[in-house]
Amino acid sequence: MPHFLRLLDWTSLMLFRAACLLVAAIVLIVTYDVTSRNLGLPTAVWAVNSVEYAMLYITFLCLPHLVLTKGHVCVEVLLTYLPKGLRRIWENALQIVSALICFYLTWHTASAFFRVLADGSYEVRSFDAPMWVLYLSMPLGFGIGGLQFLSFFARNDSFFGAPPDAHAGM
User: Cβ(46)–Cβ(127) under 8 Å?
Assistant: yes
Residue 166 is predicted with a pLDDT of 52
Lowest-confidence range among 54-68, 75-89, 113-127? Answer: 75-89
User: Average of pLDDT values for 87-97?
Assistant: 90
Lowest-confidence range among 33-47, 68-82, 115-129, 148-162? Answer: 68-82
pLDDT greater than 50 at residue 36: yes
Query: How many Cβ atoms sit within 10 Å of the Cβ of residue 144?
Result: 23
Query: How many Cβ atoms sit within 10 Å of the Cβ of residue 148?
Result: 26
Question: Residue 38, class by beta-carbon neighbours within 10 Å (0-12 exposed, 13-18 middle, 19+ buried)?
Answer: exposed
What is the rounded distance in angstroms from the CA atom of residue 127 to the CA atom of residue 71? 35
pLDDT greater than 70 at residue 99: yes
Q: What is the mean pLDDT of the chain?
A: 88
Percent of the chain whose pLDDT exceeds 90: 60
Please state the φ and ψ torsions of residue 44, each to the nearest 5 degrees.
-90, 110
Banded pLDDT at 127 (limits 50, 70, 90): confident
What is the rounded distance in angstroms from the CA atom of residue 154 to the CA atom of residue 1? 8
One-letter identity of residue 47:
A
Q: For residue range 43-76, list pLDDT tens digits in order.
A: 888 888 899 999 999 999 999 999 999 887 766 7
Tell me how far apart the 2 most distant CA atoms of the chain are, in Å.
66
Bigger pLDDT: 131 vs 168: 131
Tell me the domain boundaries of the chain: 2-169
